[in-house]
């Protein structure tokens, strides 16, 4: 018994089915997609902003590796003759008392950041969780405090600090840093408003008082806000020059910023030593910011959506 087997011809290969563009079948290249004008302007503005930020840093870094003769004869962006010329860093670190300055700065940072976290979180907890008669007035005063320039109150502030006998001590900037940070209060306030009040009520049913609720429930849930405040407050305090220079006059009480400023005396014309000191000051902040920048952005984003 025989059967007729009819072979079905295979369909011709379709360039459209194979994913080949229609323009390629005719031998002509596909038209190149033009970049929108808005996108091009965005990239150009980002490149310009990056150049504005990175160009001074590049000049400082290149100058720190040059000799005095190279600084006098070459331009700002000229390359150093020896990329391993580290004598300027040794001079800046030794003669600028940078080790003592780092120690004073660390001491001030530790107490300032710790006090800011405690005071800011407690203030935000009291404002959000308790109802009292002057609550709206307190919030209005917080807003006014953020609008008043700090320089306008420096004369009165200096008199108060001087009356306490804290001038020319490390406690003067610590108290000022802890008591003048309204931004941290607002950051904590935004996070606390996102914590359900039912947690407080359940804790009160178990016999917890207000401080226990803050210590065991509210404060542990503020970790993103605490990380944000620690980073922002730390960078601001580390880079501040005005308060340490105004309240700490002694040579052995210099911070990173004031130690760098003192290079203007014996190193007034030696820009290579000044640049090396600037690199030593910038490097810790840059490394910490690059490592922890996601905490800053996540903290602001979460606080904005609470």
Does residue 272 register a pLDDT over 90? no
Q: Whose CA is closest to 160, among 170, 175, 143, 146?
A: 175
For position 2, what pLDDT does the model report? 44
pTM here? 0.74
- 220-258: per-residue pLDDT in tens? 899 888 888 888 888 888 888 889 988 998 888 888 888
Helix residue spans in the chain (DSSP H): 22-25, 37-64, 68-73, 87-95, 98-129, 135-147, 154-163, 171-179, 182-192, 197-205, 210-213, 223-239, 242-247, 256-261, 271-304
Q: Indicate the average pLDDT of the chain.
A: 80
Does residue 107 register a pLDDT over 90? yes
For position 26, what pLDDT does the model report? 52
- 163-215: per-residue pLDDT in tens? 999 899 999 999 988 876 788 888 898 889 888 888 888 988 888 888 899 98
């Amino acid at each position: 018994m025989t059967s007729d087997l009819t072979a079905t011809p295979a369909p011709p290969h379709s360039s459209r089915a194979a994913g080949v563009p229609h323009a390629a079948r005719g031998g002509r290249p596909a038209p190149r997609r033009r970049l929108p004008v808005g996108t091009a302007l965005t990239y150009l503005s980002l490149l310009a902003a990056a150049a504005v930020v990175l160009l001074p840093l590049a000049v400082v870094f290149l100058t720190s590796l040059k000799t005095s003769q190279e600084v006098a004869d070459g331009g700002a962006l000229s390359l150093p003759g020896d990329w391993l010329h580290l004598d300027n860093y040794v001079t800046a670190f030794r003669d600028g008392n940078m080790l003592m300055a780092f120690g004073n700065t660390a001491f001030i940072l530790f107490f300032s950041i710790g006090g800011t976290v405690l005071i800011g979180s407690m203030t935000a907890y009291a404002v959000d969780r308790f109802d009292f008669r002057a609550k709206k007035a307190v919030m209005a005063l917080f807003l006014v405090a953020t609008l008043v320039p700090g320089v306008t109150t420096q004369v009165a502030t200096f008199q108060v600090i001087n009356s306490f006998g804290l001038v020319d001590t490390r406690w003067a900037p610590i108290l000022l840093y802890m008591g003048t940070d309204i931004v941290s209060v607002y950051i904590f306030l935004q996070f606390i408003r996102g914590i359900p009040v039912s947690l407080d009520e359940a804790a009160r049913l178990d016999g917890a008082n207000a401080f226990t609720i803050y210590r065991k429930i509210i404060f542990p849930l503020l970790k993103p806000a605490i990380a944000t405040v620690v980073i922002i407050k730390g960078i601001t305090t580390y880079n501040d020059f005005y308060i340490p220079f105004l309240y700490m006059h002694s040579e052995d009480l210099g911070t990173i910023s004031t130690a760098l400023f003192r290079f203007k005396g014996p190193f007034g014309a030696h820009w290579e030593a000044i640049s090396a000191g600037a690199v030593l000051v910038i490097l810790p902040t840059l490394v910490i910011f690059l490592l922890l920048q996601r905490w800053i952005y996540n903290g602001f984003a979460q606080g904005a959506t609470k």
